[in-house]
Structure 1
Amino acid sequence: MINSEYVRSIARHEAAHWIMGKRFGAGVGAITLKFTHEPGTSSVRLDCHAAVDRIASTKTVPEIEEYFRQRVRASMAGAIAQLPPDVGVTIPAVMGIWENEGQDDYMKIREFCQILRNIQYGEADRQTAKTQLNEISEALFLASVNDVQENKEPIKDLAEHMASAVTEFNKSYVFSSAAISSIPSIQALFPLAQSGS
């Protein structure tokens, strides 16, 4: 039997990616959730993602920096939102997610933070560079925690909408941008978000 709480947590993860991607001006598409049960085991393989178009104007260094800051914040938002509501949001708690189903997000986050460090500081010895990288990562983590907190109701509503539809293993559940945009709290967040946008 599919674990509804686990489905909700993954749905919150993808909802946060979708909402924060749209908040930062990216084009958004469908969210797909699929939970594949491996026969004879208790393991479940995930194939879940939010379609976010990341084309942006990056003609100047400040635009490039802002683009990567937003990418990091949107990527971090998934794991932050995935935490159970009664668990405090800390870097170790989120790392537990990044080390498991959130590995792809974590690899992108580290790469983008390294790019930001290189732009802002240039050459440095190993220890200084590590300190600078940690400062950038921690500042963006706090910003992403705030993003998720400010958007917790739409994230929750979208996640509940999706999770309530997931009843079977080995089946893809696709939630179109139009269907997502019809949810009242999403409409309130993005008043001009009509079908297909």
Structure 2
Amino acid sequence: MPPHLIEKAQAVARHEVGHWAIGYCLGFKVGDISIVIQEVDHYRGHAVIELESDLGSLELVESYLRRRIMVLFAGVMAESLKPNGIPLKDYAKNELEKGGATNDHKGIRELLRVLRGVVYGPPRDKKKLQGELDTLNDELWNATEALVMKHHKLILGLGGAIAEKASARGKPFGLTETQIVALPDVAEWLAANPQPK
């Protein structure tokens, strides 16, 4: 693969591992990670995250919404990670709103509105409603940043391992769940970070 596509493969791999790792940390069942790179602006990535959850109370619904939004934020936050573990937040926001993560952004915007209704109740006026949305958005964005930074070594390492599988334009690459959990660094990380119930 040409160097510019290898760089894109690395970015997309970090993005998908961000979804995967933060999904795991927040109690979702995770699975395979797969990617296809056609061109810098034409690619597809997918991390299997099973979203089925107990939603039997308003508190459980609120928890689910918060966790799901953080998983969606985690992709761009992880993609923007530098080797020192610090994310480039401006890059992450731009990628979310105008770049390759616009589908994540659409999901976040919809879920934030549902979460706002759960937390604050019926909207009173547009200005107050927007303030409530901004408060929730910033809270979850900052919480996601903290989690991604905490687990940056796993994200960068697993992202690199997946990107190494990229061999040709248009050829799918990735790792199955079995392959992921068998990697020594991942196995060590999983043992040190038992999944919440």
Find the counterpart in structure 2 of residue 155 from structure 1.
Answer: 155
Find the counterpart in structure 1 of residue 38 from structure 2.
Answer: 36
CA distance in 1, matches of 2:175, 2:51: 19
Find the counterpart in structure 2 of residue 89 from structure 1.
Answer: 88
Instruction: Give the conservation status (yes or no) of the 8 Å contact 2:30–2:49.
Output: yes
Find the counterpart in structure 2 of residue 112 from structure 1.
Answer: 111
Larger helix share, 1 or 2: 2
CA distance in 1, matches of 2:182, 2:3: 27
Amino acid of the structure 2 residue aligned with 1:96: N
Cα-to-partner distance string for 1:135-180 (whole Å, 9 max, x where unaligned): 0000000000001001101111110100111121011113100101
CA distance in 2, matches of 1:30, 1:181: 10
Q: Supply the RMSD in Å over aligned alpha carbons.
A: 1.8
Amino acid of the structure 1 residue aligned with 2:76: A
Find the counterpart in structure 2 of residue 126 from structure 1.
Answer: 126
5+ residue gaps, structure 1, are 38-42
* Residues 44 and 169 (structure 1), Cα distance of their counterparts in 2 relative to 1, 3 Å cut: farther
Instruction: Give the conservation status (yes or no) of the 8 Å contact 1:31–1:48.
Output: yes
Paired residue secondary structure (2:10)? helix
- Equivalent pairs: percent with the same residue? 21
CA distance in 2, matches of 1:65, 1:189: 28
Find the counterpart in structure 2 of residue 57 from structure 1.
Answer: 54
Amino acid of the structure 1 residue aligned with 2:91: A
CA distance in 2, matches of 1:53, 1:189: 20
Find the counterpart in structure 1 of residue 65 from structure 2.
Answer: 68
CA distance in 2, matches of 1:21, 1:141: 15
Query: Which residue, 28, 43, 46 being the options, matches 1:46?
Result: 43
Paired residue secondary structure (1:81)? helix
Give the TM-score taking structure 2 as reference length: 0.89
CA distance in 1, matches of 2:87, 2:181: 30
Offset, 1:192: 9.5
Range 11-20 or range 24-33, more displaced: 24-33
Find the counterpart in structure 2 of residue 22 from structure 1.
Answer: 24
Find the counterpart in structure 2 of residue 40 from structure 1.
Answer: none
CA distance in 1, matches of 2:33, 2:73: 17
Amino acid of the structure 2 residue aligned with 1:97: E
Range 182-191 or range 144-153, more displaced: 182-191
How many residues are paired up? Answer: 187
Amino acid of the structure 2 residue aligned with 1:23: C
